[in-house]
Amino acid sequence: MTGHFAHRCEVHDAARETACADVIARIEALGIERLRLGWCDAHGVLRGKTLMPHAAARALRDGVGMVGTLMLKDTSGRTVWNVFEHGGTDALPGFAGAANLMLLPDPRSFTVLPWQPRTAWLRCQPWYGNGQPVTLDTRYQLQQALARLATDGMAFKTGLEVEFHIYRITDDAAQLDPARAAWPGEPPEVRMIHPGYNLQAEAMIDMADEPLEIVMRTAQALGLPLQSLEIELGPSQVEAVFDATDALTAADQMVLFRNGVRQALRRAGYHATFMCRPPFPGIMSSGWHLHQSVIDQRTGRNGFARTAPDPAAGPDDARHILSDTGAHWLGGLLAHATGMTALCAPTVNAFGRFRPNALAPQSAIWGHDNRGAMLRVVGQPGDASSRIENRVGEPAANPYLYIAAQIHAGLDGVERALEPPPACHNPYAQGLPQLPATLDDALDAMQQDAAMARGFGDGFLHYFERIKRSEAQRYAQAEDKTDFERREYFSRT
């Protein structure tokens, strides 16, 4: 049947029609009573609507309206643009007056939620009413980056390695007391699930068994390729590692994982946070370490791997392990390290992590299997799994932007044949090129980065900058910085 909104968007064909019919049949067969339609905002947070089955079946082909201001909010949920002021959204056509956008579900994303009976979920992307894509959408931005990579015959492969914190809720009265409602509100009171400072200790795994089992069962029921769960160094800190996959799938999995474990753990009396530095003394920062390689689309081979070391390359040369493409990609990541930091570590909270001897980067350098460097080259000469690990990211980052930034930086390195310097053996030495110290510094560097502007487009970067400046300005004005972070991040991220 023609005339659906999905046809107007030029995404509907016979295969999608079959997929829509299959979803409708599964809804009936499984007794699904509610469908959540989820969309990922600029901060990597899922927003959406809950539809009844008949409405969800209609939305698969005709979409469903969403208020456009959902795309214009900072981390507190405040709309950054004055959409009701004449000229207030001149730089953002289609958003004046809080006008509607349309959410179109992807039938292939149909997922039964393991923590909510008779409830399923569908991933959506926003479209303008005329069937044009919303270019400010972060998933669209990653799709465009991958399309750019594909023109060079390459695809991007990544594995998720995510640190986060889980706490047991002891009292949620402050969070739910209507007399104390605020914007944003208070988090619950919590206690730790393990005391920390005993990395990967068997006894602490057992101590934290209940919440870790919830994480495991939730991830597996969502179809996510969970590889391991580990006790991290910090108090109440854990890490989840996933099998490597293609970039868009990995980004989708990150969004679904964060959303799922937070909800499933909350139902069992736990609070999970992907905030980089929870607001307690003695914590350890959490990072999101993004392993990456490019794949030759024709052969399926790892484009970063060498069959043998370059005879002219010494042990500190990138070509000792990486191919020419890999070495140039590494050069691009280094050249644009400061320019992409705001897209990889986009909260004011994240910048406290960039400190010496903290298993976190401080400088834009690389090293062979060195966890103090921003870029850790992993592998051995002739190793088919050789890859680059970027350790700059925080677990609260929008995954689509984090990954897209790698592609635009890496491709610039390949296109300009940028050569990385020798490997660094002392990542916290003085005199090395420093990463930005604040979110404001990182946003300044992003706006000055030509590769980021070319990749994302000036319009998107101005949009993203304005949203993040709002956050940084409110933080600067806050009298109690710790309370700001408790409410802004620990309560919601």
Model confidence pLDDT, tens digit, residues 163-195: 999 999 999 998 999 999 999 999 999 999 999
Residue 16 lies in a domain: no
Residue 171 lies in a domain: yes
Q: Is the pLDDT of residue 477 over 70?
A: yes
Please give the structure tokens belonging to residue 268: 């069992």
Question: pLDDT tens digits, residue range 275-306?
Answer: 999 999 999 999 999 999 999 999 999 999 99
Residue 325 lies in a domain: yes
Residue 175 lies in a domain: yes
Q: Is the pLDDT of residue 492 over 50?
A: yes
Average pLDDT, the chain: 96
Residue 218 lies in a domain: yes
In DSSP terms, 133 is beta-bridged to 127
- The pLDDT value given to residue 18: 97
Give the number of domains in the chain. 1
* φ/ψ of residue 253, rounded to 5: -65, -35
Output the domain CATH number for residue 458: 3.30.590.10
Residue 193 lies in a domain: yes
pLDDT, mean of residues 149-158? 97
Read off the pLDDT band of 22 (50, 70, 90).
very high
Read off the pLDDT band of 211 (50, 70, 90).
very high
Residue 143 lies in a domain: no
Q: Is the pLDDT of residue 412 over 90?
A: yes
End-to-end CA distance of the chain: 42
Range in 1-5, 122-126, 301-305, 347-351 with the lowest mean pLDDT:
1-5
Instruction: Report the predicted TM-score, pTM, of the whole model to 2 decimal places.
Output: 0.97
* CA distances (Å), origin 260, targets 45, 115, 272, 337: 11, 8, 10, 31
Read off the pLDDT band of 1 (50, 70, 90).
very low
Distance, in Å, from the CA atom of 232 to the CA atom of 229, rounded to the nearest integer, reads: 9
Residue 455 lies in domain: 155-490
Distance, in Å, from the CA atom of 237 to the CA atom of 208, rounded to the nearest integer, reads: 10
Residue 64 lies in a domain: no
Read off the pLDDT band of 92 (50, 70, 90).
very high
Distance, in Å, from the CA atom of 291 to the CA atom of 150, rounded to the nearest integer, reads: 19
Question: pLDDT tens digits, residue range 310-335?
Answer: 888 899 999 999 999 999 999 999 99
